[in-house]
Structure 1
């Protein structure tokens, strides 16, 4: 990205200016006007460096000083007509370069790139400011929605090939199981929830309420990498457990395998306990399978 967008060059975005000056023009265009102190914070540069750059841009006719209505002791900076013309040229350059590259991607891939860059930018800002990332953008939606089967399979396959080297047999089994369960959602004892980043599915969980002896199975619990650390897993699990308690299932069971410590803590926090574990050969490797059980609690609000 550094190479393709021209950051390796002495000037940037088809202008005669270095990156810091182009960034200043862009920020002034976004904010109408800024003080030099505000620019220092935005650019992350020394005050003396910003002062020299501002002076050069004023001399070049790109920006101008105007009175600061909030503080008569200082002035604000804003773009001149020439500066706004330069900004339009910078925007056109960016649109052409980025648009030409994105044209080689499918619509789904374009959405993935956009979401990924947004998450990365948020993470960088969080690290720089020492703040906690916001989770408000992630919504939890109940019920089937188009694409959920494919996304559940994709998220499982992508994660477990990295974690446990599970390949095609595992992905095929997940696809078959998820499709079969989604085909039984007409039974109100079964349900699925999705974590959404905008319209993109970034997490899922499901309850199969047709288990033996009035029990339920917790299934399909997975998060996309972009949703980890944002509380989405805890919120999905809470929805599933609330559903189980409302139905008053005799117990809720789940199968997993040893080593998924973050998920195990979430399970134990809502009342699951390890009932059994056994070493087995599965999906091309040897794993320690685990059954967790959560007994019914409270008074069911729906007759099971």
Structure 2
């Protein structure tokens, strides 16, 4: 073992203690460390959503959601609709949040200045360089892309996982309930019984070392008839969005469609899903029909997208 490892670990623990991360009232506030770092990130001028903030801070989306809710209730952060994605909200500091952030910066600057004053001449630059190099090395390890594998065909638990992701996503973002889950579940059960046909195929995405699928997609080549393929149940866990996994799943499905010679591919979705719309348009789909429907338990605007055989 490298003899530097344990001394660096010990110094890192001491740094955490001396900066106050283990004590209440970080940076002279009543806020927990995650909230202090969130205010600092929001104060840097970049437009952030909850998902982007979660990635910057290395936190789970659920933890970010709870923390943001408290910051909004405290009047420190405001949420506004994201014009590029109807499902997301842009975050910004309020006037009170900006004032709180300035107090945090003032506290931290005084803390660092006091420590630097105790160092020998020239040692401050050594500290800066060492901390920067160490932080960058740790960050490079954390942000190393996880290997995501696409597997074709039935896999134990894949359809169940896709149903769970569908139910949770559409309940959270569209208010769908048991009726939606029931309709999707019946369709999946019927499809599962027809997977032996060469016209039907299923794909899932797995992150290396993780037991649960990140999501999946299906091509049903029989339920529409007339040589048309039905793209169904395309879903990804929120943690996997933006990783390119959705494009890979869609590409696998459409390569199968083209190889099997289907005349066209159709999919049904809802109006307002801008990220999905851009993905479908890039793959050659165009909007063919829009109508009001209530099969999911409430009236929504449904869309039919069609991709002709290239």
Per the normalisation by structure 1, the TM-score is 0.57
Q: Does structure 1 retain, via aligned residues, the 8 Å contact 2:161–2:212?
A: no
Deviation of the 1:199 alpha carbon: 2.8
Contact kept, 8 Å, 2:219 with 2:229, in 1: the verdict is yes
Q: Are 2:4 and 1:33 equivalent residues in the alignment? A: yes
Corresponding residue SS for 2:290: strand
Q: Are positions 1:194 and 2:127 aligned together?
A: no
From 261, 265, 269, the counterpart of 1:252? 265
Q: What value does the CA root-mean-square deviation take over the aligned residues? A: 3.2
Corresponding residue number in structure 2 for 1:174? 184
1:295 corresponds to which residue? Answer: 308
Over 3 Å counting, the alpha-carbon distance change for 1:32 and 1:281 in structure 2 is same
String of CA shifts for 1:202-255, please: whole Å, max 9, x gaps: 101000112321110000101112222222111111110111111121000000
| Unpaired segments ≥5 residues, structure 2 | 20-52, 60-134
In the alignment, the residues of structure 2 paired with residue 168 and residue 218 of structure 1 have an alpha-carbon distance, to the nearest angstrom, of 23
CA distance in 2, matches of 1:288, 1:228: 24
Q: Is residue 205 of structure 1 aligned with residue 217 of structure 2?
A: yes
Output aligned runs, 1:45-56, within 5 Å.
45=15
Give the 3 Å change call, closer, same or farther, for CA 153–45 of structure 1 in structure 2. Answer: same
Question: Does the CA contact (< 8 Å) of 1:142 and 1:192 recur in 2?
Answer: yes
Contact 1:192 1:205 in 2 (8 A): yes
Which of residues 289, 295, 298 in structure 2 aligns to 1:276? Answer: 289
- Is residue 194–residue 202 contact of structure 1 (8 Å, CA) maintained in 2? yes
Native 8 Å contact 1:133 1:230 kept in 2: no
Match of 1:142 in 2: 152
Aligned 8 A contact 1:206 1:240 in 2? yes
Indicate if the aligned counterparts of 2:176 and 2:296 stay in contact, CA closer than 8 A: yes
**Structure 1: gaps spanning 5 or more residues:** 1-29, 51-119, 298-304
Check whether the contact 2:183–2:296 (CA below 8 A) recurs between aligned residues.
no
Change (3 A) 1:233 1:281: same
TM-score (norm 2): 0.56
Say if 2:265 and 2:308, in contact at 8 Å, map to a contact too. yes
Q: 2:57 aligns with which of 121, 124, 133?
A: 124
Are the aligned partners of 1:203 and 1:232 in contact in 2 as well (CA < 8 Å)?
A: no
Contact preservation (8 Å) 1:217, 1:252: yes
Question: C-alpha displacement at 1:138, in angstroms?
Answer: 1.7
Say if 1:155 and 1:272 are closer, same or farther in 2 by CA, change over 3 A: same
Shift >3 Å, 4+ stretches: 34-40, 42-46, 120-126, 128-136
Determine the C-alpha separation between the residues in 1 that align with 2:281 and 2:203: 20
**C-alpha separation between the residues in 1 aligned to 2:301 and 2:3?**
60
Larger Rg: 1
Q: Number of residues paired by the alignment?
A: 197
CA contact (8 A) 1:251 1:295 kept: yes
Change (3 A) 1:36 1:142: same
Q: In the superposition, relative to structure 1, how do residues 122 and 217 fare at CA in structure 2: closer, same or farther (>3 Å)? A: same
CA contact (8 A) 1:134 1:230 kept: no
Deviation at 1:283, TM superposition (A): 2.5
For residues 251-290 of structure 1, what are the alpha-carbon distances to aligned partners after superposition, in whole Å with 9 as ceiling and x for unaligned? 0000001011111111111100000101223333221110
